[in-house]
Chain A
Amino acid sequence: MEFTKETVKHIAKLSKLEFEEDKYDAFQKEFVKIMDHFENLSDVKLEDVDINDLEDKKSVLRSDDVHRFEDLQALTKNVKKMRDGYIEIPKVVD
């Protein structure tokens, strides 16, 4: 399988990441090596394994009761900016 610099750029875009131009080349070389290694998964015979067969597993559910989180201030402690009790976020539409 072809793993080009363009593929790396596409993956970076999907990942919401960007790199310096020369870093894409470095990543491309590294990825080829890592992905080549991952190809050894194709050498194992796995066709018969059904990953959706969950016969031996059983789901356990807890009762759905409401627990109030009292410390409202703590919830907004990590917010970058607050104004009048509201979370202020960067303007995203013109």
Chain B
Amino acid sequence: MELKGLRIKDMQLGLAEGKFTSVDLLNAVYKRIDALDGEIGAFLSLTRESALEAAQSADDRRKKGVSLGPLDGIPVAIKDNICMVGATATCGSKMLEDFYPPYDATVVKKLKKAGAVIVGKTNMDEFAMGSSTENSYYKKTKNPWDTSKVPGGSSGGAAASVAAGMVPISFGSDTGGSIRQPAAFCGTVGLKPTYGRVSRYGLIAYGSSLDQIGPLCPTVEETALAFEAVAGMDRYDATSVHSALQDDFMDYVKSGAKGLKVAIPTEYFGDGLDPEIKASILAAADQLKALGVTVEYVSLPLEEAALSAYYVVASAEASSNLARFDGIRYGYRTDEFDTIDELMIKSRSEGFGEEVKRRIMIGTYALSSGYYDAYYKKAMQYRKTMEAAFDKIFEKYDAVLSPASPVLPFGIGEKSDDPLAMYLADIYTVNINMAGLPALAMPCGVSKDGLPIGMQFIGRKLEEPTLLRLAYDLEEKLDLPKTAQEKEGA
């Protein structure tokens, strides 16, 4: 059997009608990965044995007429910073090359409970630090739309695995745009849920007050199904929100965008935004109007200070979080050393890559004595003003329409020498993590060079359903290719 498209409803129909089994589906997924991943490099490891067992269990259940829900027997991939028993969680780092987590992340537990078949772990920038997946210790992932381009990052492997037509759901993590920017670069949908909506238990920490796990999928429907499966309160995550999704969630998502109000911040469409992206998003805004959505321009400052505040907070948290990698308890350990200090310094210096070291250094500096007020405190103050600015917009509007990235997918190696330039490209995504808001990235067009163009809807806290509802209706109206494979008509 060949994998044709990635729509879960087609897969479920085929399974229900007995046209194929979950094992057939899994084999088709691996066949596609085996054929394409040598070039794309989306996966770091495949979990063939446990996946086969899960697929067989799904088939056994189906024979008995039992179903665990819409994800039962459906192949899913997860980013390599999410823990799962039986597979390494390398985080794209040499530091964790041989790290086998002793427990499943809550997200993994929930996916298994929903019957999903986890096929493997996807490539990422080391410790989720980066916007191109070029910072992985293991390999560079390529953009399935154009293999000379980066897939974005840090969930570049996740985005590529969906865009290359390998899996219908790939879970990533987003600390400053790491789901939405690769989704935009690879023409997939990507949802960064509200902070606290999806448990972070088992997600290897980068910036703990910013990190969120979320799905990347070919369409809004898969995104909604994936989100529904993993959202919810978790006793193992102290920042978990005590709030359940509404019972009629899927019906609500499909209930039409008519009557919703969307704000477009004028400042977000100024200089620095690629004109093709701007035109494509504004065209999508016109389509929204045609759907009966109120679209109005508002003022919402977009300041470079936001990026500074983000990089201060994220690096400060990273420098603390990554202090646990000392070469003693687990992870990489250097071969030769005389003193305990030498053991730690050498293990860390040899185990971490350049960008990780850079951020540990920035964070350590920002938190060091005498500089805390100048950097960290200011950044936290800025963070509060940002939240307030969004709150004010949301008094009148249901969502904000924004670019996801100011640039189209860039060439591999094109920006890797200039870290600051790479940081500046996160201008549209970092605010959302700082404010703890949900945001959904979706494709809105294709550039003249044939590259995907993405945009994002930003919503009120806990209002992912509203974002999905807007996106579901708009996606149908725009009717864009769902994967790079579909674009080629394959």
Contacts and interface: CB of A to CB of B under 8 A. Distances in A.
Contact of A44 (B305, B333, B337, B349): B305
A59 to B, nearest CB: 10
Interface in B363-385: 364-365, 368, 374-375, 377-385
Given A16-B344, A16-B348, A41 B364 contact: no
B34 interface: no
A80 B326 CA distance: 13
A18 interface: yes
A51 B100 contact: no
A74 B331 CA distance: 15
B9 interface: no
A66 interface: no
A83 interface: no
A75 B102 contact: yes
A43 B305 contact: yes
Nearest to A74: B102
Given A40-B308, A79-B329, A15 B379 contact: no
A19 B368 contact: no
A74 B330 CA distance: 13
Contacts of B235: 62
Nearest to A26: B354
- For A27, A75, A77, which residue has the most chain B Cβ atoms within 10 angstroms? A77
Contacts of B419: 30, 34
A71 B102 contact: yes
B250 interface: no
Interface string A36-74: 011111111010010100000000101000000101001
Given A14-B368, A17-B352, A17-B361, A37 B420 contact: yes
A8 B309 CA distance: 21
B118 to A, nearest CB: 18
Contact of B308 (A12, A38, A69): A38
A46 B340 contact: no
Given A16-B344, A75-B102, A11 B364 contact: yes
A78 B385 contact: no
B291 interface: no
A60 B242 contact: yes
- For A37, A42, A74, which residue has the most chain B Cβ atoms within 10 angstroms? A37
A44 B360 contact: no
Contacts of A62: 235
Contact of B420 (A33, A43, A90): A33
- For B103, B340, B352, B364, which residue has the most chain A Cβ atoms within 10 angstroms? B364
Interface of B: 85, 98-100, 102-103, 235, 242, 303-305, 307-309, 311-312, 319, 323, 326, 328-331, 333, 337, 339-341, 343-346, 348-349, 352, 357-358, 360-362, 364-365, 368, 374-375, 377-385, 419-420, 423
8 contacts: A7-B365, A18-B349, A19-B357, A34-B423, A38-B311, A40-B303, A44-B378, A89-B328
Interface of A: 7-8, 11-12, 14-19, 27, 30-31, 33-35, 37-44, 46, 49, 51, 60, 62, 69, 71, 74-75, 77-80, 89-90, 92
Given A34-B311, A44-B382, 5 more contacts: A14-B364, A16-B326, A17-B360, A44-B378, A51-B383
